[in-house]
Amino acid sequence: MELAYALKHRHMSRKFLDKPIDEEKLDRLLYAAGRAPQGGNMPVREFIVVTDPKHMKLLRGVTPSFLANSPAAIVICTNLEKALEVMGVQGRDVLSLLDAGAAAENIALEAVELGLGASFVRSATTEAAKKVLGIPDRYRIDIIVGIGYKAKDSSPPVRATKPTVHLNQYGGTRNG
């Protein structure tokens, strides 16, 4: 698949079919996530794959912004202790978040390739999510990616957005 196609067709899905994702596809999503950049090239980013319906119910129950009914989720976490050790405060507080976002986007793009949909979830209730998933204190949940087969009416139309660009310096006009 052309990258341009995946970029064009990637969008946040809200409605999913009640159909499990096979292991091979999950492996490919995780491979894509692992290919995302990581500050210091050290393994401070970890993934929790949630496929069990009861654990999905737990995760959704404490994550109000998780509106999508996806049958699975990939929870992207950072090991804060390790991040501080190998990347310093900036690495722990900033770079690891950027890296988690990059991993989430890779998952979403690979999902297009696999005929799946993705939905990003960020919540202020991650401490509760850590508790229901048994995640140790030294980890931070950075983003949750809901995954599944899209229903037909899975998402409203994507708004066309044009990036704001400045040439050479702030306020510089590009293309005339």
Partner 1 sequence: MADGSNTSPTFDLATYLVASARDCMEEPLVYGPLRMLVAVDMIVDFMERGPEPRDEFLIRERKKIWESVITVMNDREAFARALDSLLAEFAEELKSRTLRGKAISSRGRVASDEGLPKRTRHSERESK
Here's the x/- map for partner 1, 60-89, by CB under 8 A: it reads as -xxxxx-x----------------------
Residue that has been written with the tokens 């737990």 in this structure: 58
Candidates 50-58, 75-83, 107-115, 143-151; binding stretch for partner 1 (CB under 8 A): 50-58
52/138 Cα distance (integer angstroms)? 24
Say how far residue 35 (Cα) sits from the centre of its chain.
13
Give the number of residues in contact with partner 1, rule: CB under 8 A: 14
Beta carbon nearer to partner 1, 4 or 124: 124
Residues paired with residue 77 on neighbouring β-strands, in sequence order: 46, 141
In whole angstroms, how close is the CB of 58 to partner 1 at the nearest point? 9
Residues ≥6 apart with Cβ < 8 Å to 19: 71, 148, 149
| By CB under 8 A, residue 52 contacts partner 1 | no
Residues 95-124 touching partner 1, rule: CB under 8 A, are: 123-124
Minimum CB separation from partner 1 for residue 170, in Å? 27
| CA Rg value for the chain | 17
Stretch of 16-24, 52-60, 68-76, 142-150 lying at the interface with partner 1 (CB under 8 A):
52-60
Return d(Cα 65, Cα 10) in angstroms, integer. Answer: 20
- For residue 2, the cross-strand partners are none
Residues forming contacts to partner 1 in the complex (CB under 8 A) are 53-54, 57, 61-65, 67, 123-125, 128, 156
